[in-house]
Amino acid sequence: MAPRTIIPINEGWQFGRTDVEEASFLPVSQFPTNVHLDLLHHKLIPDPFIGKNELDVQWVGEVRAWQYRTSFKTPKIASNEKAILAFDGLDTFAEVLLNDKKILETDNMFIPERVDVTALLNETDNQLVITFDSAYLRGWERVEKIPSHKWGTWNGDYSRLGVRKAQYHWGWDWGPTLLTCGPWKPINLEIYESRVADLYATVTVDNSLDSAKVVLHATTEGKASKVRFNLSLNDTALSETVDVTKEGAAEATFNISNPELWYPVRYGKQPLYKATATLLDGDDEVDVASKKIGLRKVELVQKPLKDQPGTSFFFKVNNTPIFCGGSCWIPADNFTPRITKEKYQNWIKLMVEGNQSMIRIWGGGIYEDEHLLDACDEQGILVWVDFLFACGNYPTNPEMLQSIEREARENVKIMRHHPSIVIYAGNNEDYQFQESEGLIYKVEDKDPQSWLKSDFPARYIYEHLLSEVCNDLVPETFYHYGSPWGGKTSSDPTVGDIHQWNVWHGTQARYQDFDKLGGRFVSEFGMEAFPSIRTIDALLPKGRRT
């Protein structure tokens, strides 16, 4: 049995409009990419971050459809192998044709897709065409199809709520409206008979911190019958070979005495064990998957307080209470394909140098890149992950719920090995929106099906659907219904977490009162300030400084 072969489909790509007769197709600027980056590369739009250029590029998101296309050679494929086209991310409404045959339709930029194309490949050359519809136009079509829903948002417009796409693309109070589209993550052609489809670890650290149990789990495809698991750190290496079950599962348990534990920065070191699963056909290595994991014990402490109302809300790592001073993270660029590994590493390094210890990945962006999470693992920054819902009342039609569940499962599987992740939260400020708009929320109602019939049906997403996904895939990691959330009103400072914006926003309290505006855990707050002169110089058109 031959090893799995992965061939990047990253060359020869061209893009163009579909609504213009005889439209010319131009080479892309890079791959992965999006339409704004490619238009910028060919100087067909001005830089939207300069002056008021943002207003002059709004037409890009309103074009009915943009198309990307390329060709690739057919590799050698044995009779017992299959060919899979793997799309890590298509933004968002995409129709994919291979050699003039439709192989895929997508409507969720966060779901990776895999398509068996073994029978569709030509003998020599293949044509791959991806057409991206306007998310803005398709979003409004979805709004019109559900007139009974109480549509409402605090940022962007209603069309974003029915589209599983980065919500900040519709604009936010901190950034521009740039509704882009395109193949924003890698596309690969995989040739194999068997493969490791998934590898993850469940880690249990004893209360004494003197021992740890690590269970490595692998999911496989194909006929290869054994998996060799390895767990190593420096000169220590453990190994076990096990049979694959008929369901394609394999696991091995390693008991470690005196484990080297992972700690947040300034509380200890960040050792990362290497976990490897090697798929075997006899003595032949067919496929290998590896992840870096950290051994740590995490608790979110929410207990009644003495002589004070409410409950505590703080994290303990390896029995040590942690001060979670940090930042909320919005995407590092409106155009994520151009964010480099080095940029992610430098941002996290800056957090460490600023004595921060936690980052909250905000719910209006994306499930963040592995390079960001790797940097947090390596540098000791704790991670709070919001699921991607923000400042609105989301619909819950069956197709939407099905897409959301698949999205959540796929992305939790991708993220769950990171020791830095200590909490998942269902949304950003959607409970605040519910309170502000007077949408119905009955605390005593515990029936998820009845929530779907209310005017705040998204409660079903946060308190049932996502909760079940996390209980299934990451039961050892705390799931929080939202941010903020505490079980009472979202602004109650005595329970859960709160977002505190009342100094320059909201009640516009005096800055001298900041010490009185705290809560059990303030997961978002800030102060308006002018940017540096260097930033202003960068965004002003030339000659416009005065």
Spans in the chain with pLDDT lower than 50: none
- Residue 504's pLDDT is what? 82
Instruction: Establish whether the linkage from the previous residue to 32 is cis, with ω within 30° of 0.
Output: yes
Asked if 496 and 487 touch (Cβ cutoff 8 Å), the reply is yes
373 SS3 class: helix
Sheet holding 101-107, edge to edge: 26-27, 14-17, 65-73, 125-133, 93-98, 101-107
Active site (catalytic) residues: 429
Alpha-carbon gap, residue 170 to 156, rounded angstroms:
5
- Residue 56's pLDDT is what? 98
- Written as six digits, the tokens of 398 are 């069956």
Amino acid at 65: A
Amino acid at 83: A
Asked if 36 and 57 touch (Cβ cutoff 8 Å), the reply is yes
Residues sharing a CB contact under 8 Å with residue 342, sequence separation 6 or more, in sequence order: none
- Residue 545's pLDDT is what? 61
If you write DSSP's letter for every residue of 462-522 in order, what string do you get? IIIIHHHHHHHH-TTSEEESSBS-SSS-TT-TTSS-EEE-TTTSTT---GGGGGGS--S-E
* Contacts made by residues 525-533, CB under 8 angstroms, sequence distance 24+: 525/499, 525/500, 525/501, 526/501, 527/503, 528/504
Residue 99 — left, alpha, or beta (φ > 0 → left; ψ -120 to 50 → alpha)? left
Q: Assign 3-class secondary structure to 36-48.
A: HHHHHHCCCCCCC
Sequence length of the chain is 546
Query: Strand ranges (DSSP E) for 168-272?
Result: 187-192, 195-205, 211-221, 226-233, 236-243, 249-257
- Residue 203's pLDDT is what? 98
- Residue 363's pLDDT is what? 99
435 burial (CB, 10 Å; 0-12 / 13-18 / 19+) is middle
- Residue 544's pLDDT is what? 66
- Written as six digits, the tokens of 320 are 């040590």
Alpha-carbon gap, residue 101 to 329, rounded angstroms:
41
Select from 391, 343, 348, 383 the least CA-distant residue to 367: 383
